[in-house]
Amino acid sequence: MIKREQGTVAFRFAEYEDSVAVSIRLILSTAKGERVMRPDFGCGIHDLVFAVTNQATCDRAASEVRDALARWEPRIDVEEVRVWPPEEGTHLFIHVRYQIRATNNVFNLVYPFYLEGYEGHT
């Protein structure tokens, strides 16, 4: 996005990059089938809400995140997705490292995904 002020040109990539981060969070927080007019939108991690917290679940979550972001966020290249459970096992941490294509800037996002039985989850 370009902003002109008194004959100078300033680039405002921060808003664009913030928009990308919001979009990623939206994709990860939306379950497939949740949107009536677009039932295929979202991420398949929500199918894992009752899964056992183990390495297979973490691997499947990482795969679902990669697939969803590749399909629904064309402004980025996903460089890495790592998923791990904390010691208490009430949720998974999903770490996404991505590069924005327009700026080549690399960002990290950690998304907590809450599993069934966690009292603090809404």
pTM: 0.80
Report the Cα–Cα distance between both ends of the chain, in Å, rounded. Answer: 36
pLDDT tens, per residue, the chain with 122 residues: 445 555 565 555 568 889 999 999 999 999 999 999 999 999 999 999 888 888 899 999 999 999 999 999 999 999 999 999 877 767 899 999 999 999 999 999 999 988 764 444 44
Length of the chain: 122
Residue ranges per structural domain of the chain:
2-114
CATH fold of 2-114 reads Nuclear Transport Factor 2; Chain: A, (3.10.450)
Which residues are within 8 A (CB) of 86 and not within 5 positions of it... i.e. 6 or more apart? 93
